[in-house]
Amino acid sequence: MEHNINKEVFFCSTASRYFKEQLSGTAANSEVFILLEHCNPFPEKVMEAHFDKEWLRSIQRLAKSYKGKVLLIRNNKTNFKDCKISFVDCNACRYFTIETAIENTPSVQLADYIADPRTAWQTDPFFVICTNGKKDKCCAKFGFPVYKFFESFNADVNVWECSHVGGDRFAANAVAMPFGIYYGHVAVEDVGHIMVRTLLRKIYKNKFRGLSRRSFYEQAIECHLREHLQNYDIDFEIHTHLLYHEGDTYKVDVTTSNNGHYIMELLKERISYPHRLTCKSQKQEDLSKFKLTRLEAI
């Protein structure tokens, strides 16, 4: 029997790093996250998780109604008896968690807790790191070592493995909650920087993909403006008003939480990409990026 020991194994994240793909403006769009603790290995799709299917469908509908995403999570304290269910509001940067026995999850009416004024909301930061190899092998290959480094770095900060957060080729992907700050191409040497800066309410700019609550277009505006101002405070907010859009050209009025006022112009570019976008893709696709062409303080 002959073995082809020279067979090439493609890793989409390695290809993206080699291409030096721009990370800014690539965060998956989610205004909320619903996190379900899941002891078993993560399936490729959330609906294949070991929960009551009708209840799981209701959770998916609830997430969709809030323009959100459902993630499966686990860590070294996860067991087969208990289940934590968290609702993360990235707009308000807060979350609450319900703890229940796994057999009681179908009776949890999460929407009732969201509306209840007695619900105890929290703001302490925590992290989720995608390790879902069923979705893309890069998520497991690059995500799991990063998760283990996060787990060992600071015992006072909660860290979870999670199912797919979006962006296979940006693995390892980490998300700082409850802010929805996406980081991509995270390596173990980045973990300390991300952890410390988050606790100081700062963004680690080197691996910053964007804020999940913003569209790709708004993320690009924010990333370009933060780079120009060298302002990476988590509490720095921007508000955009589109002045002009024709074809791939955008002109935007931007105001900031520190009383800044700017006019920005961007050009949406198509970039020829010589690799597949994911490990499972069957064909190559071009990339779209927003290039800054003008930034003027008013």
Q: Could you give the CA distance from residue 157 to residue 145 in angstroms, rounded to a whole number?
A: 17
Residues in CB range of 59: below 8 A, 6 or more apart: 34, 36, 70, 110
Q: Which pLDDT belongs to residue 155?
A: 84
DSSP single-letter state for residue 42:
P
Q: Which pLDDT belongs to residue 117?
A: 95
Q: Which pLDDT belongs to residue 6?
A: 60
pLDDT tens per residue across all 298 residues of the chain:
455 556 678 999 999 999 999 999 999 999 999 999 999 999 999 999 999 999 999 999 999 999 999 999 999 999 999 999 999 999 999 999 999 999 999 999 999 999 999 999 999 999 999 999 999 999 999 999 999 999 999 889 999 999 999 999 999 999 999 999 999 999 999 999 999 999 999 999 999 999 999 999 999 999 999 999 999 999 999 999 999 999 999 999 999 999 999 999 999 999 999 999 999 999 999 999 999 999 999 9
With beta carbons less than 8 A apart as the criterion, state whether 90 and 212 touch: yes
Is pTM, for the whole model, over 0.85?
A: yes
Q: Which pLDDT belongs to residue 2?
A: 53
Query: Burial of 214 by CB count in 10 Å (0-12 exposed, 13-18 middle, 19+ buried)?
Result: buried
User: Which element (helix H / strand E) includes 172?
Assistant: none
Q: Could you give the CA distance from residue 229 to residue 254 in angstroms, rounded to a whole number?
A: 13
CATH 3.40.50.300 given to domain 9-214: no
Q: Which amino acid is at 268?
A: K
Q: Which pLDDT belongs to residue 154?
A: 86
Q: Which pLDDT belongs to residue 5?
A: 57
Q: Could you give the CA distance from residue 173 to residue 171 in angstroms, rounded to a whole number?
A: 5
Q: Which pLDDT belongs to residue 67?
A: 97
Q: Give the residue from 147, 146, 156 showing the smallest Cα distance to 125.
A: 156
